Chains A and B, each alone.
Chain A
Amino acid sequence: MGRWRSPFFADMIRSIRACKTAAEERAVVRKECAAIRAAINENDQDYRHRNLAKLMFIHMLGYPTHFGQMECLKSIASAGFPEKRIGYLGLMLLLDERQEVLMLVTNSLKQDLNHTNQYIVGLALCALGNICSAEMARDLAPEVERLLQFRDPNIRKKAALCSIRIIKKVPDLAENFINPAAALLKEKHHGVLITGIQLVTDICKVSTEALEFFRKPKCLDGLVKTLRDVVNSPYAPEYDIAGITDPFLHIRLLKLLHVLGQGDADASDCMNDILAQVATKTESNKNAGNAILYECVETIMSIEDNGGLRVLAINILGRFLSNRDNNIRYVALNMLMKAITVDAQAVQRHRATILECVKDLDASIRKRALELVYLLVNESNVKPLTKELIDYLEISDQEFKGDLTAKICSMVEKFSPDKIWYIDQMLKVLSEAGNFVKDEVWHALIVVISNASDLHGYTVRALYRAVQTSIEQIVLMFLHQESLVRVAIWCIGEYGDMLVNNVGVLNIEDPITVTESDAVDVVEIAIKHHSSDITTKAMAMVALLKLSSRFPSCSERIRDIIVQNKGSLVLELQQRSIEFNSIVEKHQNIRSTLVERMPVLDEATFSGRRAGSLPATVSTSSGTSLNLPNGVAKPAAAPLVDLLDLSSDDAPVPSSSGNDFLQDLLGVDVSPASVQPGTSQAPKAGTDVLLDLLSIGSPPVQNNSTPSDILSSSQDNKSSVAILDGLSPAPSGGAASMIDLLDGFVPNSPKPEDNGPAYPSIVAFESSSLILTFNFSKPPGNPQTTLIQATFTNLSPNVYTDFVFQAAVPKFLQLHLDPASGNTLPASGNGSITQTLRVTNSQHGKKPLVMRTRIAYKLNNRDVLEEGQINNFPRDL
């Protein structure tokens, strides 16, 4: 025959087990699958059973087996029990939710549900219970309903679970099942009872009518009696586990009581006695007993209030919590989280024990305990709890530090009684686990520091001390405490004078003597250290610039440090180095204005902007981890924009031009900040640099726009490149032209820009019938302003009436429209309308003009609207 016969099932497993590599395994499986397919094609019935068994194994290993589905159907359709059994099993395992296969099987299921052999009925029920779709549920519900009263209990119990699937798929059918389900509750057979109870529980969840029905005393009393019988039942070897008869049945009954008692005082009242009995009488030295107690506590906590029972429940949890078995402690913590909404005081009593669990060796327990502690924090206990957690932070596992830090920061922020405490705690966290602190946390800290004007001196000294104490282990520090260093550098830059002159010393402080050169040392170390990332270095650069004015004696030294970065490979630093050097060297007269202390950062704006990302910190608990990769720009960068970019739209800054300029410098830092060390930053940095160039280009004197505007107006790289082209027409290096720009803003060296109207006219808009041309001229002595004479010509044979021209420009431009010469445009080019536009370009020399236009007129009394965008303005306007 030449056909490669498929070996026996056991042979296949042996050969798979013998495989040493995944590739070998794949090869064996491929060969087996090929043989099975061949057998399927030949409709080989002798081997069908064996082939299906093989397919199940192959499926379990994770290989596709869809081709076996039809084989299952054939097997189900055969007459014998063994064939049907393997067919149904295969169907349940291999099925891939393809509706057509399900449709094909519905008929077989229907026949088998009505089969005379009860074992075959059992098979069909089991399959239906596992795979039933909504359609099948509608088709087969009557059969299942009937089988709930079948003579053999083994069929009744399966029919009960099958009914659960049906009412979950089609909740409308639930009502049909209320009465048969109620009948099941009276059964003695444990299998029928436990499945019947599960069915009733699920019916109550989808149907309020059913819920009311089962809450009635006649049903509820029966349930309570059943539970009592089970609790008091004599030894039953078949169901006994550790001296308890059928703990599973106990638990299902308690779960049902939970559903019935919740929100119904009368029903809750009915079950009080039995719950009290379970809670007090159940043996708690074995797992089975504890499982029942655990469920009982859950039920007590959910049903309507009964003080006595709750005390009982909380005491059980207290016992659990001090148990030495980790499993028991875990469920106790789990349950206390639910109990906290019911009785916060009672849970607070266990605070010390819970706090110990945060330090447990077991990660599952630590996680639960930390979440529980977080829920326990309030204004009155935040101080001791935070202290405990921060102390523990020092010695905790690396992988736990992230979660722990997030929770500490969140609770400190939420409940801090005063700013000095907040600042103290945050400094501790930053010192212990700086690198686990999310960016928005240290951004928030800077905002708070900025607002606490009486604490500026204190804070900068504390930070200086924190950085100093670890300066011996400088390598370690920069690996683990980057955010501490950043905050310290920012504060030294801003409040360096307070550090040196000991301004605003609080009486809790130890005296400290810091010389100007000491302060510069710290910043210098930060900027020179190899492990500092760009953000830190950029912040250090700005701090140095600020210090150069605050500490005139160190000015020379600072300039040297700045100049060293002239050759930095990071464009951002290189550029800053050149600019700052130029400021230090040539612009002494404006420097002090430039580097003035930043105005107080607006807390409301910051927290408002931050609102979107705040829940993230709070809910790190919920399974989904919210550890956004640091490279993700949006959440990380947004707060920074707030923080550093003062000129955000909703916080207008009434400040000097010097400040505006600085904001731009700082605003630029936004982009690199989102690039963390270690992440691949090549493509990102590319765009960042473009953005940098754009924003640094804005001359400070007339800066109406904000960096964010510029960013948004050049969203895609392409356009920013285009703008860049316009920015440096001369092929001089970018850096050189930057120096020019800086020089350009010295008041007494204006650029020779006021040349005559040497600009060519353009056709700004052209349709088949309408032409708009622009002629340009410049008013002498005002290079930023352009006068545009717009001329409209109508080539069509019809007159245009009610002619209106409108224009819009981006924020960096200002537009003034003079009245038009008329509102009727004669036909066939016999005359024209003229209108003068005056445009002022605040980005003159950097960005070309751009304009949107809208022309409205009436043609034969019909409204016509023509819109367009003008991008072809001459450069340098």
Chain B
Amino acid sequence: MGIRFILMVNKQGQTRLAQYYEWLTLEERRALEGEIVRKCLARTEQQCSFVEHRNYKIVYRRYASLFFLVGVDNDENELAILEFIHLLVETMDRHFGNVCELDIMFHLEKAHFMLEEMVMNGCIVETSKSNILSPIQLMEKMS
């Protein structure tokens, strides 16, 4: 299992999506999110996209006002995770059309369903955008 959690956070530091692949209590989550957000949001564009925190490595990437932060094990390939974040964003873009913070907020379940098609139990499920989106679009057509 490589990915331990995925967070989407706006530039004010508010969590907009949180998916954990290991169990943490609510208090632990709040504390962890606070610490990570403080650490990552303070960094400049020139600095690298990796931050070591506790026993995690955080790979993060900023898209407009939204930060995507992925916590991984220490032996995970950081560059691949960076690429994965981009894939995630592209997939969401394709579905929502230029995804923004509000899309994720108002369609939180949908964002989760998309994520479900991409990551399960911390492992990558699928890397083809159309394969990821087809079940979701199918369901939309039906309802």
Tell whether A62 pairs with B80 under 8 Å between CB atoms, given A56-B109, A164-B121, A164-B123.
no
Q: How far is the CA of A239 from the CA of B129 in the complex (A)?
A: 8
* Interface of B (DSSP majority class): mixed
> Counting CB contacts under 8 A, is B89 at the interface?
no
Q: Which positions 165-192 of chain A face chain B at CB distance < 8 Å?
A: 165, 168, 190-191
List chain A residues, Cβ under 8 A from B82.
287, 291, 327
A62→B29 contact, CB < 8 A: yes
CB distance from B121 to the nearest CB of A (A): 5
List chain A residues, Cβ under 8 A from B21.
130
A247→B83 contact, CB < 8 A: yes
CB distance from B50 to the nearest CB of A (A): 5
Q: How far is the CA of A509 from the CA of B39 in the complex (A)?
A: 48
Q: How far is the CA of A157 from the CA of B17 in the complex (A)?
A: 25
> Counting CB contacts under 8 A, is B128 at the interface?
yes
The tally of CB-CB contacts under 8 A between chains A and B is 158
List chain A residues, Cβ under 8 A from B139.
81-82, 85, 119
List chain A residues, Cβ under 8 A from B130.
238
Q: Mark B15-52, 1 if CB is under 8 A from A, else 0.
A: 11111010101100110010000000000001111111
Q: Mark A81-103, 1 if CB is under 8 A from B, else 0.
A: 11001100100010111000000
B116→A251 contact, CB < 8 A: no
> Counting CB contacts under 8 A, is A158 at the interface?
yes
List chain A residues, Cβ under 8 A from B126.
157, 190-191, 194
List chain B residues, Cβ under 8 A from A334.
78
CB distance from B26 to the nearest CB of A (A): 6
B78→A330 contact, CB < 8 A: yes
> Counting CB contacts under 8 A, is A756 at the interface?
no
A130→B120 contact, CB < 8 A: yes
> Counting CB contacts under 8 A, is B141 at the interface?
no
Tell which of A60, A195, A287, A328 touches B83, judged by Cβ atoms closer than 8 Å: A287
A191→B127 contact, CB < 8 A: yes
> Counting CB contacts under 8 A, is A322 at the interface?
no
Q: How far is the CA of A198 from the CA of B47 in the complex (A)?
A: 32
Q: Mark B80-119, 1 if CB is under 8 A from A, else 0.
A: 1011100100000000000000000110110011001000
Q: How far is the CA of A86 from the CA of B18 in the complex (A)?
A: 16
CB distance from B61 to the nearest CB of A (A): 10
Q: How far is the CA of A361 from the CA of B45 in the complex (A)?
A: 12
Counting chain B residues whose Cβ lies within 8 A of the other chain, the interface size class is: 35 or more
CB distance from B49 to the nearest CB of A (A): 5
B112→A158 contact, CB < 8 A: no
Tell whether A238 pairs with B77 under 8 Å between CB atoms, given A62-B30, A326-B48, A327-B82.
no
Q: Which positions 277-331 of chain A face chain B at CB distance < 8 Å?
A: 287-288, 290-291, 294-295, 298, 326-331
6 cross-chain CB contacts under 8 A = A60-B17, A61-B15, A62-B29, A129-B120, A239-B128, A290-B79
Give the A-binding residues of B (Cβ under 8 A): 1, 15-19, 21, 23, 25-26, 29-30, 33, 46-55, 77-80, 82-84, 87, 105-106, 108-109, 112-113, 116, 120-121, 123-131, 135, 138-139, 143
Give the B-binding residues of A (Cβ under 8 A): 9-10, 13, 17, 53, 56-57, 59-64, 81-82, 85-86, 89, 93, 95-97, 119, 122, 126, 129-130, 154, 157-158, 161-162, 164-165, 168, 190-191, 194-195, 198, 238-239, 241, 246-249, 251-252, 287-288, 290-291, 294-295, 298, 326-331, 334, 361-365, 367, 623
> Which 4 A-B pairs give the minimum distances between C-beta atoms?
A291-B79, A326-B48, A362-B47, A191-B126
